[in-house]
Structure 1
Amino acid sequence: MAIGKDVFFLLFLNLNAFIPLLRVNAYVTSGIGNISEEWGYVEVRPKAHMFWWLYKSPQRVDDPAKPWPVILWLQGGPGGSGVGFGNFLEIGPLDVNLEPRNSTWLQKADLLFVDSPVGTGYSYVEDENLAVTTDEEAATDLTFLLKQLFNADNNLQKSPLYIFAESYGGKFAVTLGISVLKAIEARELKLHLGGVALGDSWISPEDFVFSWGPLLKDMSRIDSSSLNESNSLAEKIRQQLAEGRYAEATDTWSDLEHYLGSASNDVDFYNFLLDYANDPVVLKEKDFKGQMAWRYLNYFSRKYSSINGAGVSNDLPSLMNGPIRKKLRIIPENVTWGGQTELVLDAMTNDFMKPRIEEVDELLARGVNVTIYNGQVDLICATKGVEAWVNKLKWDGLQSFLSLGRTPLFCGDSDRTTKGFVKSYKNLFFYWILGAGHFVPVDQPCVSLQMVGNITQSPNNGVYIIH
């Protein structure tokens, strides 16, 4: 990867709050063609700095009747870095070894990665008390960032924005969607919201914890006695949530995970067909109460090691704190990628187990396109749990949606191998992705790319074959 010589800095001024926005433009040449890039910081609140990175697709098709979309990718955790995980490990133009990714979503849309909430990835706070404590606070910060990017860019305003989320990022996505709608209605934000897509998203923790025991029992990973104990702990969580004891519910959630890990002989919560020992998701030496961000890190480290062999040179932290940091040139000396992750996690303990079903209902009622996509063998956000919370929606189109059949999905050069199913009614869409765990774009890249083209109605939406 070569960086063009003409790297320059532009300083924009937020006229509302007189907060500077540092924006860097670069032109990067890689094996997948020329990619225009921008990145920078937005001070979303005094002493709270959010980092963003925008890739503009070299395959952009200019069609006034079908505008080129922009995807905002929100990682889970809370505290998982979209600039790191989503970008280099899942859907960005380059992988962790800085090699071109054949299945990059950049083929269908421009990609905007943001390290949110503040304290995540390269984002940082100068005062620990500035860490967000709720999904709504995170949405407020993100909305402020979008105002800075879109209000100052006529070209961006022409592109519909699609908010894609993974894991805990789903809770951020639906709260952001509502915040964005309010800002648009108030004429404070100049953009068109194309839709919200929830990938293996932590929308209703209660429904997920009740799905774990029965699913593992059906898969022969636990016995009847363990199922009873699992359901008992899930019932305890339900009671704690009903009484508003959210931090205690987070503690019990952790107890339930540890119990099922032991009873199942360490099942992999990101793929229930695998063992912890074969594809570990957590670092054994840490306490992982609610800390999905650390799960991300270790999962991908092991996954790339197994693919590339023991000699893989670029693990993600080394990449982000080494070559990428050097390329970006604007990361403060005292900021380390991921250095404030635990601050983010700890600050959101009380919000971790709160459901966001009502927010999904509101988006649907307002006419926003909502897409749900889920990996077949995910456990942490199991499809069984997703279907349970979908059944709780009060949206007036739900019964019609539930009564419909599904359409099979194929990808590549075969129409005999089923890759998934899809069904939709009005503005609700549901994709069941077969053979995928928690990280759908990694496990099933071909059908994922095809799905993204359909969701965004990308002008470049031909069937894509991975070679």
Structure 2
Amino acid sequence: MNVLFIDSPVGTGFSYVESFGEYALNNKQIALDLVKLMSNFLRSHSEFERVPLHIFSESYGGKMAPEFGLELYLAQQRGEVQCQLKSVVVGNPFISPVDTILSYAPYMLQLGIVDHDGFKNISRVASEFSRLIYTGELGMAVIQNIKLQHLIEQIIGNFVFYNTQWRTHEDDDHRYGEGPKLSEFMINNVTKALNLTDMTKWEARNVAVYDELGSDIVKPAVHIVTRLLDETPLRVGVYSGVLDLICATPGTVNWINRMSWRGKQKYVDAIRQPFRSDGYLEGYEKQGGNFSMFWVLRAGHMVQQDNPAAMSHILREFTNYG
């Protein structure tokens, strides 16, 4: 298979903003930037115009990918881009921040990570986040979300938000998508392999990108998923590692259950089935109405890292390859 990795939003990874450019301010702008990128890429490499295209992403990328997919499809319909877009698949997505954050306390209580006192304290702060979202005080909601993360850390100590079952040492620093080994590999291997030694240094995180997005970070994108299902023929998939806290599976299931689209009844009527690899149970799947949901066992936020067998199953399900 051909794989195209995109550092997005601009300013993250190897991507950068020139003096006359600007960082993205919202999800729509991110999507349009990605459509522009694909348009230029496909014009330069026209052989890929006929190759089936599947968009995969995870975490906050799970919020970006649906709008990217929608805008790419619309651009295709207008004749601006020639491609064979087939599906949009998101892993442990931050698509509905309210549902995600309201699921923290009950999820941790049921796993035994917090007691009832911890449950009450976390629920109180999460409820205030929800109130701020519904009253439109999005800037304050961003701050409230940071407060909630700090509160959880105070209650449960040096804990990995991305996999509740990781064994961690008190001196460990588990940050998402980065670390000394990754940084060393990207800078010493990938930078040289791509001949990018004269460019700006690779950045795992860019605070300026976060700051420019601002309150848009806590806005939901469920309506974009609905539009994908109602306005396009694309297959849409969600997979979720059940050991993840930061984008916990119960919150994902909640927004999916509330979401309405023309094929929903087919999904509701579908039977949830186990899926296996070499005879081993890797998770459960439910498919109907052009929508698929995968519950992945023994995996947290990064399914492809924690359970590659399950990730392979999901990839084959959409690409029919392998």
Same fold per TM (> 0.5)?
yes
The separation in 2 between residues aligned to 1:141 and 1:430, in whole angstroms, is 28
- Secondary structure of the equivalent of 1:271? coil
The separation in 2 between residues aligned to 1:128 and 1:219, in whole angstroms, is 50
- Cα pair distance change 1:340/1:448, threshold 3 Å: closer
The one of 276, 292, 297 aligned to 2:178? 297
Larger radius of gyration: 1
Per the alignment, residue 391 of structure 1 pairs with 257
The separation in 1 between residues aligned to 2:142 and 2:20, in whole angstroms, is 22
8 Å CA contact 1:271, 1:379 repeated in 2: yes
- Secondary structure of the equivalent of 2:38? helix
Amino acid at match of 2:176: R
Question: Does residue 424 of the first structure (1) align with residue 322 of the second (2)?
Answer: no
The separation in 2 between residues aligned to 1:187 and 1:217, in whole angstroms, is 51
Q: Unaligned 5+ residue runs, structure 1? A: 1-108, 283-293, 302-314, 462-467
Identify the structure with the greater helix proportion: 2
The separation in 1 between residues aligned to 2:41 and 2:219, in whole angstroms, is 30
8 Å CA contact 2:266, 2:289 repeated in 1: no
Question: Does residue 161 of the first structure (1) align with residue 53 of the second (2)?
Answer: yes
Per the alignment, residue 299 of structure 2 pairs with 436
8 Å CA contact 2:14, 2:203 repeated in 1: yes
What is the CA RMSD across the aligned residues, in angstroms? Answer: 1.9
Per the alignment, residue 220 of structure 2 pairs with 355
Question: Does residue 273 of the first structure (1) align with residue 273 of the second (2)?
Answer: no
Amino acid at match of 2:235: N
**1:126-275 equivalences in 2 (<5 Å):** 126-127=18-19, 130-274=22-166
TM-score (norm 2): 0.93
TM-score (norm 1): 0.65
Residue 243 of structure 1: CA displacement? 2.2
Residue 324 of structure 1: CA displacement? 2.3
Per the alignment, residue 189 of structure 2 pairs with 323
Per the alignment, residue 208 of structure 2 pairs with 343
Amino acid at match of 2:33: D
- Secondary structure of the equivalent of 1:295? coil
Work out the percentage of aligned pairs sharing the same amino acid. Answer: 29
8 Å CA contact 2:275, 2:281 repeated in 1: yes
- Secondary structure of the equivalent of 1:233? helix
Q: Unaligned 5+ residue runs, structure 2? A: none
Question: Does residue 447 of the first structure (1) align with residue 313 of the second (2)?
Answer: no
Q: Deviations over 1:344-393 (max 9, x none)?
A: 12211221111100000000112321011010101111110100110121
The separation in 2 between residues aligned to 1:408 and 1:138, in whole angstroms, is 36
The separation in 1 between residues aligned to 2:91 and 2:26, in whole angstroms, is 20
Residue 430 of structure 1: CA displacement? 0.9
8 Å CA contact 1:133, 1:350 repeated in 2: no
Residue 247 of structure 1: CA displacement? 2.1
Amino acid at match of 2:315: V
- Cα pair distance change 1:339/1:208, threshold 3 Å: closer
8 Å CA contact 1:174, 1:359 repeated in 2: yes
- Cα pair distance change 1:396/1:279, threshold 3 Å: farther
The separation in 1 between residues aligned to 2:20 and 2:153, in whole angstroms, is 33
8 Å CA contact 1:268, 1:279 repeated in 2: no
